[in-house]
Structure 1
Amino acid sequence: MEIQRALADDAGEILTLQRAAYVAEAQLYGDPFIPPLVESVQQVRKAIETGVTLKAVEDGRIVGSVRGTLSGATCLVGRLVVAPDRQGRGVGTALLTALHEQVPEAAAFDLSTGHLSEGNLRLCRRLGYRETRRERMDDHLTLVHLRR
């Protein structure tokens, strides 16, 4: 597996991967309209062009991706996705570690995930992220905000 900067031409494949990865989250929270599932290819392309988007490539296939956007001295981490058939094999760890290395000017890294997303929470805690607060979004979702 190789971690590389994503290119604008990768937007369609990353969006397809993102949708595949977030279906389980949508089912977990009973909400088929979570933002990663309704994002457009144009929005993904813009994110690639304006921030740091990394992709994990294995045998010519994108199997994971993560985004980082610098806001002051903080890198806002978003859309960490791993292909369903590659989850639990270190792809997410490799992507977050590479993002930390790609944005050395960041004094902190912030991300959020749903309160029921135990795998995401375990990964983040293992990489040094600590919970900073919880934000109730509605009856079925509380966002857990974490910082490293």
Structure 2
Amino acid sequence: MIKELDLNLMNTLKEVYDLQRASYQIEAQLINFFEIPPLTEALEDLGACDETFLGYFEEETLAGAISYTVKEHELTICRMIVHPSHFRKGIAQKLLKKVEEQNQNISVLYVSTGKENLPAKNLYLKNGFQFVSDQEVVPGLYISHLIKEKHQPK
């Protein structure tokens, strides 16, 4: 089941925070960089972010989440979070699909991920995103930027 998450609720905020730390620890290992923002972010900062969160639940357990922002007709995926014990179950795919279903007026979607995070890059590429560029954000750390343009019916 996928539903919107309210990070104003402390127990929900804590669940997302713990899930994020577990998930991004794996990305940090993949890209060999452990100072990525989701690992250094304080609980209060997560709670104050201006992102919409959807959570994927297996029974009562939060197994995955996605967050995004919308500005006009552009959507930016900010976080894709899946608990390592739930990898390879299609959770990220379902979350991505749900975001697109709920935002059909969007004409452009953006996402960025670590250049060496091949599972994430492959997920986006197989869902119609196109590689744009790699950017060195700190010495030795590259982020891949991807875009998906949706053509609206006239």
Task: Report the TM-score, using the length of structure 1 for normalisation.
Answer: 0.91
More displaced 10-residue stretch of structure 1: 16-25 or 26-35:
26-35
CA distance, structure 1, for counterparts of residue 48 and residue 106 of structure 2? 21
Deviations 1:16-74, CA, capped at 9 Å, x for gaps: 00000011121233322210101122222233xx4321000111010000111012321
Partner of 1:75: 75
Deviations 1:64-103, CA, capped at 9 Å, x for gaps: 0011101232101011010101111100000011111122
Q: Please, what is the CA RMSD of the aligned residues?
A: 1.3
Pair member with larger Rg: 2
CA distance, structure 1, for counterparts of residue 48 and residue 101 of structure 2? 22
More displaced 10-residue stretch of structure 1: 35-44 or 57-66:
35-44
Task: State whether structure 2 residue 99 is matched by structure 1 residue 99.
Answer: yes
- Residue 146 of structure 1 and its aligned partner are, at CA, apart by 0.5
Which residues of structure 1 form unaligned runs of 5+? none
Q: Aligned with 1:98: secondary structure? A: helix
4+ aligned runs moved over 3 Å, structure 1: none
More displaced 10-residue stretch of structure 1: 104-113 or 23-32:
23-32
- The question of whether the paired residues in 1 share the 8 Å contact of 2:33 and 2:141 is answered with no
More displaced 10-residue stretch of structure 1: 57-66 or 38-47:
38-47
- The question of whether the paired residues in 1 share the 8 Å contact of 2:73 and 2:107 is answered with yes
CA distance, structure 1, for counterparts of residue 20 and residue 75 of structure 2? 20
Q: Greater helix share, 1 or 2?
A: 1
Equivalent of residue 26 in structure 2, options 24, 27, 49:
24
- The question of whether the paired residues in 1 share the 8 Å contact of 2:31 and 2:115 is answered with no
Q: How many equivalent residue pairs?
A: 145
More displaced 10-residue stretch of structure 1: 58-67 or 137-146:
137-146
Q: Aligned with 2:109: secondary structure? A: strand
Task: Report the TM-score, using the length of structure 2 for normalisation.
Answer: 0.88
CA distance, structure 1, for counterparts of residue 35 and residue 3 of structure 2? 29
Partner of 2:151: none
- Residue 98 of structure 1 aligns with an amino acid whose one-letter code is K
